Amino acid sequence: MFKAEVDQEPIEKLFDISLINIGQTDASIIIKDRHGESESLVVDGSDTDAAIGNLIDIIGEKAKDAYPTAIGSRFVRGGQHYYTSQPVTPNLEKDLGDIASFDPEHTSKSLQLVAELGKKFPGVQQYAIFDSAFFHNLPRIAQIIPLPHQYQDDGLRRYGFHGLSYSYLLSELKQIDESAANGRLIFAHLGSGASLAAISDGHPIDMTMGFTPASGIMMSSRSGDLDPGVVSFLSKQFGITIEEFSHMTNFESGLKGVSGISGDMKTLLDSEMSDHRAAEAVELFCYQVRKAIGALSAALGGVDQLVFTGGIGEQSAAIRSRICEGLEYLGIKLDESSNSRHQGQISDPDSQVSVRIIPADEALSIAREVKQLIA
């Protein structure tokens, strides 16, 4: 939750609440105050309904002395019709509900959260902030999915996601070095959801995710890009339905599927010496990220800055190091001492490419967007 006068900067964060491990026995809510002090509460997170109920109760308790004047909620996608932030209305909720099946992990939960927040804070205007908006104006050639043209009129295109994270990184990099922010950038958002984006002269030109957030590189439990023939094979060999395939590629694949153990990178790193499948999952993840950096550098015609963010990107020196191994041909060279200490700049002084860590703050991106809307 944030506090700010409409015409003043900066926005002040009052507290931060995170709900983690929904659906697992160790579901918990992490609460951080404005001073960085945190507490962890074990909650009933057996399913989304229970988790959201607990979350709303805590928000209500914390908001007693800071009743909201507006609420912004992240929506992964708005389809072909919604690509700018919008006030939440019944029509908007209906339209987003109609496309929720394309994103089973996010949209329905966001709509549920909006409904519960409406009950907790009646009369407070809510806004939908779209994660795909940052990539709405990708170059035409980067939008096209090579299927029959007639489907494009119904919204078949590469949308791109994690836009709130990338817009925040771009604004932060401008504060650090404005000239660098206008160069050839590759941002790597590596967490349970993972993607990379190419930005040139302050504008996105491509990214790894396309029509849904399950595309691109492998993730914690999402498959990333697949050969279309896999669908036919699994259907004919095992009788897997479209619904089962969608669930598998969103919730049972990626690191979790390859390792057979977990989708958590720290768990896999701890296990890789004794479990070859855990080691293989980690190696595949780093390999795919490294390939994506190469592909995006080709789209950019080179790279000046490589920025890591997200839980894995910010916290795992080992993963950053393994990703950058073999990228010397691009002029990327890490300073392993700086990398191990998670410093802001982790590239070697002789590196032709500046490599940085910038912590993500998607909530602040949402707060800034809401502030502009209510202005």
CA quadruple 48, 50, 53, 59: dihedral positive or negative?
Answer: negative
Q: How many CB atoms lie within 10 A of CB 312?
A: 27
DSSP 8-class letter at 345: B
H/E segment holding residue 362? helix 362-374
What distance in Å separates the CA atoms of residue 176 and residue 161, rounded to the nearest whole number? 24
SS3 state of residue 221: coil
> Strand pairing partners for 345?
356
Query: Is the N-terminal amide bond of 10 cis, ω within 30° of 0?
Result: yes
Give residue 47's identity as a one-letter amino acid code: D
Active site residue 275: no
SS3 state of residue 186: strand
What distance in Å separates the CA atoms of residue 177 and residue 374, rounded to the nearest whole number? 30
Q: Are strands 28-33 and 38-42 parallel, antiparallel or unpaired?
A: antiparallel
SS3 state of residue 1: coil
First to last CA, the chain: 18
Q: How many CB atoms lie within 10 A of CB 46?
A: 13
Tokens 């002090």 belong to residue:
37
Q: How many CB atoms lie within 10 A of CB 67?
A: 9
Q: Phi/psi of residue 342, each to 5°? A: 55, 40
- C-beta of residue 344 within 8 angstroms of C-beta of residue 356: yes
User: Which has the closest alpha carbon to 157: 131, 184, 138?
Assistant: 138
Catalytic residue selected from 26, 98, 103, 131? 131
DSSP 8-class letter at 18: E
Give residue 11's identity as a one-letter amino acid code: I
Rg (the chain; Cα; Å)? 21
Q: How many CB atoms lie within 10 A of CB 91?
A: 9
**Residues labelled as active-site residues:** 131
